[in-house]
Structure 1
């Protein structure tokens, strides 16, 4: 998988047709530890369209033989890969922390989730894929089965470098597709280690391929490629829509999971300690770099002041630092660009009249000076028309908004172009049911944080958060296969 370039820095190759191969460009880029810019985690390939074409050709040639294998045989490979990943969990988690910044406990938890995803989809190879349907002809048999799309392009973000590649690639593979994976550059090294687990598990040459490089070359190249039959993407709205339009223009299937501006409603009857703890966890863990992270905190006026004080007390306890250090609760922004984005939104909030109650500055004390650290920010007196209340920040910024009724809270929560996740804190069953029925979000959670979904459950958003398909669980079969109706006379 790797070759030594320097004593402590490795270069990670592309994975094409069952082999680790360097890009034809002979160009690489450094993956930098956002907690310590002096630390180079590894080097990844800056690939060309020619590299991508080789990967797609390999996937196309391998697909027929792969789809002919039984589901249980394909599942055996995924199950073996899960065991290999389990043996390597510490190394993969440490690499994730070094490469994109989330704390080691979070990284280890995500890696464990990746292992569980592989095992879940390994089992899919033995589950039903069709139905027998009564025919009007008494001498006929009619039933449905599933057929794979073919070659699937998987384009993944940096914030979940294990879970997202696997919750896309594993179902694609188990249902008989072959995959060309383009990971985010910020987490290319971590992704290479995941692919190596599948390589060691014996996945046939060409069935899984990984090509690293710029999104404009490799990501767009996948969307444009005539031999790529489906695109599954998680990332920004701007990029997602561009990829979707390219896929649509040539008749390829596409699946887009994009942004969120996720609200939490704190009703006047809420358990305020629970609500404050969950708001901090949902909004600030992983440095707020989750598409399901809590951003808008909508609180009833009757409990607003008390909740605000509880929230601020919990935020003040947060230790910001290197995710590999004991006691660190929140790591750095994943890159210098992401840090600048967060700081710019903090300035916009202040300029538009919001009151900054806590944090919002770059953290540069001690060893933090070498990284892209930012203090968690809490804004008060936020109105619905402010930029920080409308645009996805993807950073540790909470915006407090006061309402006088539960109905007003619901209306404000729905006042967004996004509809990914939302949560409510209430002890009133009627309010909980109203929230479930009226909240325009693909994931609604009661008395728990907005972030997180279990791997066996469908995941996806409404409005501008999604292309309206669903990932994970049994729902994944709907994207990665097509229904074939069979009539036997």
Structure 2
């Protein structure tokens, strides 16, 4: 049964000014409507920003420990509703139940983490050069944060933007992706029940061309945090920086895993397949390229193709191996890249076919004989498609790994400790892993990319996640 949702503005659940709505659909059962949401406009966005402005000063003056208690209570409420939120996430976005449950738990943990961290916000004390002087810093909120989030992690990414923004004392307006906005409403509900004052968090659903554009350019918004495609992120950056807003962008990836000749090939195939095919390949950190030393190349191709063939895609609530693409557009985009790879001369070892059933299902694809300049090795493919590239040694592997516009996540599978540490130093990526898949990050350490994967301004998550939402004053007190 479909659920009717509203915008959350100034502590009230309200319809769009126009009364227009849009529906979300279950990607495993496209004929089933999951939710009906307000199709908001720039005017609705203006109302939300005005509510945030009105609430920002009082919330910013609220002591950090009190702000933290609200976030901690929200974490507990989300935990009580974990099963229901998990099912909603599966039905709107398509993840498997296990993947969705892990993501909901991540959101719970993020609110718990920032609830505790809010108690320690303040500044630092330094020794002054002059006598009878205290030298210290004081961190203050920016004011109003505009948050624009994607559909592929519909609760974790909103959580890691909302929680530090509120912990630091800002009010916020969030525009969730139209394909899967339901989990953001669950966050808002939990925060409302946890005692968040009216207007501190506002939720507005609708098209990016209306809500997102207005949020990025609104003169009363002090900072904009965006996660999504590089194309859209670049437009958000231009709109937001025109009047000097602080901007944080996390965008696409073309993430490599290097497989050394010292690696255990079976283990390497497990690591790469988990990174490439987990969450249906719909992750900015997904492994898209396996760069494999020629001595183990053929063995690795056989092993990773076998793992792809063993995956049985099905609806997420059936506890399947892999869920569907989120939409027909996303499925068609992946299928187009499968065609492109074959036209370029790569060998399709397995998969790449849409399944003959309802839903946006694809058998994961593995390409061999891929050259580094092929489009399938250069362009982001938001689906379960892996390109396997042969290299002769470490130097060639590094050249290939860095020979893309992106620099988000990268890993190496090796038993050579020196090689692993060289890779950490040499790779152009914001997240570097040794003997691990490219996906999956800890919440208490910085996250972000390089090159076209990021604005390279501020990192998200951990203590670094608070830096974006605060500004520092330096205080000289001559007593």
Q: Tell me the TM-score range normalised by the shorter chain.
A: over 0.9
User: What 5-or-longer segments of structure 1 have no aligned partner?
Assistant: 1-7
Q: Classify the secondary structure of the residue corresponding to 2:424.
A: helix
| Structure-2 residue corresponding to 1:161 | 154
Q: Tell me, yes or no, if the aligned pair for 1:31 and 1:189 is still in contact at 8 Å.
A: no
Q: CA deviation at 1:190?
A: 2.3
Residue from 369, 391, 416 that aligns with 2:379: 391
Residue from 21, 31, 36 that aligns with 2:14: 21
Q: Tell me, yes or no, if the aligned pair for 1:43 and 1:189 is still in contact at 8 Å.
A: no
The runs of at least 4 aligned residues of structure 1 exceeding 6 Å deviation read none
| Structure-1 residue corresponding to 2:325 | 333
What do residues 384-413 of structure 1 show as CA deviations (whole Å, max 9, x unaligned)?
A: 111000000110000010011111111110
1:457 aligns with 2:445: yes
Matches within 5 A, 1:41-440: 41-326=34-319, 328-364=320-356, 369-440=357-428
Matches within 5 A, 1:437-448: 437-448=425-436
| Structure-1 residue corresponding to 2:469 | 480
Q: Classify the secondary structure of the residue corresponding to 2:30.
A: coil
Q: Hey, what's the Cα distance between the residues in 1 that align with 2:394 and 2:322?
A: 32
Q: Hey, what's the Cα distance between the residues in 2 that align with 1:273 and 1:485?
A: 55
128-137 vs 84-93, greater mean Cα deviation: 128-137
What do residues 364-399 of structure 1 show as CA deviations (whole Å, max 9, x unaligned)?
A: 1xxxx2211111010011001110000001100000
What do residues 262-318 of structure 1 show as CA deviations (whole Å, max 9, x unaligned)?
A: 000000000111110111110111110000000010000101111111111111110
Q: Hey, what's the Cα distance between the residues in 2 that align with 1:370 and 1:128?
A: 50
Q: Hey, what's the Cα distance between the residues in 1 that align with 2:265 and 2:161?
A: 37
Q: Classify the secondary structure of the residue corresponding to 2:140.
A: strand
Q: Hey, what's the Cα distance between the residues in 1 that align with 2:200 and 2:415?
A: 50
Q: Tell me, yes or no, if the aligned pair for 1:99 and 1:190 is still in contact at 8 Å.
A: no
What do residues 45-101 of structure 1 show as CA deviations (whole Å, max 9, x unaligned)?
A: 100111111100000000010011110100111100111101100000000000010
Q: Hey, what's the Cα distance between the residues in 2 that align with 1:139 and 1:194?
A: 48
What do residues 139-190 of structure 1 show as CA deviations (whole Å, max 9, x unaligned)?
A: 2211101111100001000000110000001000000000101000011122
Q: Paired residues, what number? A: 477
Q: Hey, what's the Cα distance between the residues in 1 that align with 2:444 and 2:25?
A: 34
| Structure-1 residue corresponding to 2:5 | 12
Q: Hey, what's the Cα distance between the residues in 1 that align with 2:93 and 2:107?
A: 17
TM-score (norm 1): 0.97
Q: Hey, what's the Cα distance between the residues in 1 that align with 2:382 and 2:400?
A: 20
Q: Classify the secondary structure of the residue corresponding to 1:281.
A: helix
| Structure-2 residue corresponding to 1:3 | none
Q: Classify the secondary structure of the residue corresponding to 1:38.
A: strand
| Structure-2 residue corresponding to 1:5 | none
Q: Hey, what's the Cα distance between the residues in 1 that align with 2:209 and 2:328?
A: 20
Q: Hey, what's the Cα distance between the residues in 2 that align with 1:191 and 1:275?
A: 36
Q: CA deviation at 1:9?
A: 2.0
Q: Hey, what's the Cα distance between the residues in 1 that align with 2:251 and 2:450?
A: 10
Q: Hey, what's the Cα distance between the residues in 2 that align with 1:263 and 1:66?
A: 43
Q: Tell me, yes or no, if the aligned pair for 2:137 and 2:474 is still in contact at 8 Å.
A: yes
Q: CA deviation at 1:437?
A: 0.6
Q: Hey, what's the Cα distance between the residues in 1 that align with 2:3 and 2:311?
A: 34
Q: Hey, what's the Cα distance between the residues in 2 that align with 1:258 and 1:10?
A: 31
CA RMSD of aligned residues (A): 0.8
Q: Classify the secondary structure of the residue corresponding to 1:311.
A: helix
Q: Hey, what's the Cα distance between the residues in 1 that align with 2:178 and 2:428?
A: 33
Q: Hey, what's the Cα distance between the residues in 2 that align with 1:488 and 1:253?
A: 29
Q: Hey, what's the Cα distance between the residues in 2 that align with 1:190 and 1:70?
A: 28
Q: Tell me, yes or no, if the aligned pair for 2:64 and 2:121 is still in contact at 8 Å.
A: no
Q: Hey, what's the Cα distance between the residues in 1 that align with 2:140 and 2:226?
A: 21
User: What 5-or-longer segments of structure 2 have no aligned partner?
Assistant: none
Q: Classify the secondary structure of the residue corresponding to 2:174.
A: strand
Q: CA deviation at 1:196?
A: 1.1
Q: CA deviation at 1:199?
A: 1.4
241-250 vs 135-144, greater mean Cα deviation: 135-144
Q: CA deviation at 1:128?
A: 4.5
Q: Hey, what's the Cα distance between the residues in 1 that align with 2:241 and 2:173?
A: 19
Q: Classify the secondary structure of the residue corresponding to 1:370.
A: coil
Q: CA deviation at 1:194?
A: 2.0
